[in-house]
Amino acid sequence: MINIALQGAEFFAYHGFYPEEQKIGCRFVVDVNVGFIPPGDLLEDSLNKTVDYERLYIITCEEMKHPRKLIETVGQSIIDRIKKKYPFVESIEVVIKKLTPPLTGKVAHSAVIINYKKPEHGV
């Protein structure tokens, strides 16, 4: 299995349950890890035989631009788009960290971690 990862992709976005979060926005950091078995010979040296991390970034960027109340929803949308683009993917992990969330004490970040694992055949 091969893993392709984006680590520490930074965004300013307007996700949040409270209306003020959707107005003032917040900084987010996103990690995306994708595991897959190549659909062909990697020695062909072709992007068609792997997961393109530039495409992962574009998908993540587009989803981060679409405001939602829950970052869980954002994470699931990222996973769904990756699965659609790369049907040979076996596993995906998306971590979305909301930096300095609006809480009553100092917190570095809150986070949502969403994992996907392709069902085994015959299940």
The domains of the chain are located at 2-117
pLDDT tier at 82 (50, 70, 90 boundaries)? Answer: very high
**Is 2-117 CATH 3.30.1130.10?**
yes
The secondary structure of the chain, three-state, reads CEEEEEEEEEEEECCCCCHHHHHHCEEEEEEEEEEECCCCCHHHCCHHHCCCHHHHHHHHHHHHCCCCCCHHHHHHHHHHHHHHHCCCEEEEEEEEEEECCCCCCCCCEEEEEEEEECCCCCC
Which pLDDT tens digit goes with each residue over 14-58? 999 988 888 999 999 999 999 999 988 888 888 888 999 999 999
Percent pLDDT > 90 in the chain is: 77
pTM over 0.75: yes
